[in-house]
Amino acid sequence: MAENSSIEPSFTCGLDATLRIIAGKWKPLIVYFLSLSSNRYGELRRAVKGVSDKMLIQQLKELEADGIVHRHDYKEVPPRVDYTLTPLGRSLAGALAPLCAWGSDNMVEVGRVLAEREQWSREPADAQLPVA
C-alpha cells in the first residue's frame, strides 16, 4: 500500500464529500436538532435520544472541528455551554431536511421492514419446525 500521498481526499461526488462530514449514527441527528434550536449540552443530550455523553461530546467536537457547530462556553459555575450551528452547519441542516420529510412520509413502511429485520434476528436461526 506504500503511503497514500494524495493530500486531498478527492471525492468521487458531492454526496461522498457530505458523508465524510455527517456519516455516523448521531451526527445527522445532532445537526438536525441544533437546527431547530440552539441547545445547551444537557438539552441536546435529552433531544438526541439514547446518546451517551461520550458519543455526544465526541461527535460535537468533530462537528466543531469541521466548522459545522460552534461551542460557546459561558464560563459560569455551574457550567453552561451551548451549541449552535455555524452558517455552514445551517446550510447542511437545510440539505438534511428532505431526509426528515422522507422518514416522516414513509415511517409506517420503514417501521414494518425494521420489525421484520428484528424478527429474524431474534429467531434462533434453526427454528425447529414443529413436527410437520
Partner DNA sequence: CAGAATCCATAAAGATACTG
Partner DNA sequence: CAGTATCTTTATGGATTCTG
Which residues inside 51-70 make contact with its own copies, applying CB under 8 A? 65-67
What are the backbone angles phi and psi of residue 48, rounded to the nearest 5°?
A: -85, 90
Query: Is position 85 an interface residue for its own copies (rule: CB under 8 A)?
Result: no
Query: Is position 16 an interface residue for its own copies (rule: CB under 8 A)?
Result: yes
Query: Taking the complex as a whole, how short is the minimal distance between the CB of residue 30 and its own copies, in angstroms?
Result: 11
The Cα 27–Cα 81 span in angstroms is 19
Name which of 78 and 98 has its Cβ closer to DNA: 78
Q: Kindly report the number of other CB atoms within 10 A of residue 42's CB atom.
A: 12
Query: Taking the complex as a whole, how short is the minimal distance between the CB of residue 118 and its own copies, in angstroms?
Result: 8
How far is residue 97 CA from its own chain's centroid?
A: 13
